[in-house]
Amino acid sequence: MGKFSAAKLTGGTDVKAQTAHNYLIDLLESGYVSNALIEGNRVRVDVNPQGGFTISSNDVVIGGIIPINGTIFNVSGAITNDATDPNCWAMIGEQTIGVTNYRGITLFNTDYSSTEAAMGIRTDAYGSFIVTDGNATPRISANVIGMFLYDETGELRFIAQASGTFILNAAGQTTIFTGVDHTTIQAPGNSQNYIVLDSTGISFYINDILKEKWS
């Protein structure tokens, strides 16, 4: 458009300038399109006021800068530090782990793997913030009811809520609970044998019966 931007109208009588001016208006309104066959894929670039700047491959938009409802969205299949030989990159989108559909960011690091994700930062339909490891196993999550930590198998091992803090064993049983005014240490596999620590001392329970108290 550079050669047309210098065109000047002189009372509408300069035909050459008028033609250039009209072409410039048409170009601004209809946009610019370029396409080519690259490595067997039909790649197309569109630039126009309504669609913004988009890059398509085989008629599927794979990237661009697009205005949506007055906001500019940067659309990209991946974000990386090096376009020719990236050693780390991130992908934004959906991923199903087990039966749960997540949306978020998947992070890759070639020091870990050139094909498998090193970790992920995701959300689910319940508004949870979830961090997954290289095996796509949830390790940390947080939502409106608390924060949760998981072991390498995905088993819940720690819960932090307003009501208290829970530590669980591999069987999913609470072994330590800390509330506002007391802490309970519970025997694994037997919820009736436990120790309670509070401001009055230490109480020992067997089969849910107080056996001894130190104060």
Tokens of 133: 């490891």
Output the six-digit token pair for 204: 């020992």
| Torsion sign across C-alpha atoms 160, 166, 167, 173 | negative
The pTM of the whole model exceeds 0.85? no
Which residue type occupies 149?
Answer: L
Q: Which of 5-9, 40-44, 159-163, 207-211 has the lowest mean pLDDT?
A: 5-9
List, for residues 57-104, the tens digit of each pLDDT value. Answer: 999 998 999 988 889 999 888 899 888 888 999 988 887 777 777 899
Q: Tell me what pLDDT residue 177 has.
A: 96
Mean of pLDDT values over 128-134: 93
